[in-house]
Amino acid sequence: MRLKVALLIFITTIFTQAAAADGSTNLVTIKDFSFNPQEITITRGETVRWENHEKRQYHSVWFEASGEEQPDYFFPDEFYERDFSEAGSFPYRCGPHPRMTGVVHVTE
């Protein structure tokens, strides 16, 4: 069973990196009340997509430190996307679940 899980994670990682390499969307999944990966590094101009893989729970991706208002929640099988046009580190959290945190690092 552990081998199957490890293989699934490996395949998912390979496909996610391949999609990101062509300048498209970088994926962060939400499952078991956590962002995976918790930190992601992208290049300026790329997009990050957060997908909710929970069974019943809604979440949000809130860049609170930047002074933005909390965005709408999104539910299982829904997603949220954001483009990053400036370099820097952008911490975020889930609005209804403040212990869920992550960081987007944007390089030139």
* Domain CATH code at residue 46: 2.60.40.420
Residue 95: CB atoms within 10 Å = 18
The residue ranges of the chain whose pLDDT is under 70 are 1-24
HSE of 53, CA atoms in CB hemisphere, 13 A: 12
Q: Could you tell me the pTM of the whole model?
A: 0.77
Q: What's the Rg (C-alpha) of the chain?
A: 14
pLDDT of residue 5: 40
Three-state secondary-structure class, residue 53? coil
Domain of residue 19, residue span: 2-107
Looking at residue 23, what is its pLDDT? 57
Total domains in the chain come to: 1
Rounded Cα gap, residues 99 and 86, in angstroms: 26
- Per-residue model confidence (pLDDT) at position 2: 58
